[in-house]
Amino acid sequence: MHLLKTFFLLLFPLLFSCKNIGVETMEAKVGDPSASGKNAMAIDTSFTLDYLRGHFIPSKHPDFVKVDPAYTDHARDYYLHKEAWGAFKKMADAAAGEGIKLFIKSAARNFEDQKGIWEAKWTGARLIEEGVSAAKQYPDPKTRALKILLYSSMPGTSRHHWGTDFDLNNLNPEYFQSGEGARIYQWLTANAGNFGFCQPYSPKGPERPDGYEEEQWHWSYFPLAKQLTELARLELKDENITGFLGSETAQKIGVVEKYVLGVNKQCMPGY
C-alpha cells in the first residue's frame, strides 16, 4: 500500500506537467506567427470577400459617406469609408495651412464601376497609354491584360473598392515631377503618414518588382487597408476573379499575388 501511494504521488506531478505543456503548445499555435508564417491580425467582421471585391453600392453602404465637394474636383459625387474620409479631411486641412491644396479626383469604385473602366480598355472603346487601342495592338489576351494592368485594376481586385483609397489632384505622372505637383508630392511623402496614409504604388524596383506602375496620386488609409490586404492574402484567389471580359487571364498572370499584394511594403500588414 505504501509503495502504491508513493507511485501515485510521483505520477501526479508528471501528469499535471504534461497537461500544462499541452495547453501552452495550443496557445503558442494560436498566437505564434510560426504557425502560419505571418503575424495574426484582427480583421473587422464587416470586411468580407464581397466587400473586398466591391460587390456593394458605396452610396448605400452604412460605413461610407459622401465626400464634401469642397475637397474634390467637383466632377461627380465621391464616397469613402467614413474613417478614411475623416482622416483625409484632417490631412487636407493641414496641407491647406501650409499652402498645399489637396483634392480628390477619384475615390470608391465598386465592381461595376471598375468593370466599365476595364472593359472599355479591353475592347478598345477607351484608349490606353500612348493612345493605342489595346484590342487592336495586343490581340493576345494575356499580353493585353498586362498592358491594361500597368495602371488599371481588374474588377474585383481594385483597392478603390475598399473605400480606403483615393486619387489626388492629377493622374499624370509628369505633373508630379516639377512645380506645383512636385511640391504636393513632397508634402505628401513627408506628412501623409502622420494622418495614417501610405502610397501603395511606390516606384518599381527590387523592393516592389511586381504590380502597377508608380502612382504618386494614389494614397491609402492604412489602418483599414491593412486589414483588407490581409483578408486578400488569406482568402482572395485568382479563380475568384471573374465576371468581366478577359477575366480568364487572372490565373495566368497571378493577379492576387503580383497586383493585389504587389504594393509598397509600407502599405503591407505588419509594417
- For residue 54, the domain's CATH number is 3.30.1380.10
For all residues of the chain together, what is the average pLDDT?
89
- Total of domains in the chain: 2
Q: Say if residue 145 is in the same domain as residue 113.
A: yes
pLDDT in tens, 96-154: 999 999 999 999 999 999 999 999 999 999 999 989 999 999 999 999 999 999 999 99
Structure confidence by residue, pLDDT tens digits, 38-69: 457 999 999 999 999 999 999 999 999 999 99
Contact 103, 169 (CB under 8 A): yes
Determine the residue type at 81: H
30 and 54 part of one domain: no
Per-residue confidence (pLDDT) for residue 10, from 0 to 100: 44
pLDDT value at residue 271: 85
53 closest CA partner among 132, 154, 127, 145: 154
Q: Both 159 and 80 in a single domain?
A: yes
In a domain, 181, yes or no: yes
Assess whether 135 and 248 both reside in one domain: yes
9 CA to centre of own chain:
59
**Domain span including residue 11:** 2-35
Residue 242 located in a structural domain: yes
Note whether 184 and 169 are within 8 A (CB).
yes
Q: Are residues 187 and 231 in the same domain?
A: yes
- Give the Cα separation of 224 and 215 in Å (integer): 20
Answer whether residue 24 shows pLDDT above 50: no
Same domain, 31 and 105: no
- Read off the pLDDT of each residue in 203-232 and give the average, rounded to a whole number: 98
Q: Are residues 22 and 60 in the same domain?
A: no
Query: Within a domain: residue 176?
Result: yes
Q: Global pTM? A: 0.85
Calpha distance 252→140 (Å, rounded): 12
pLDDT at 177: 97
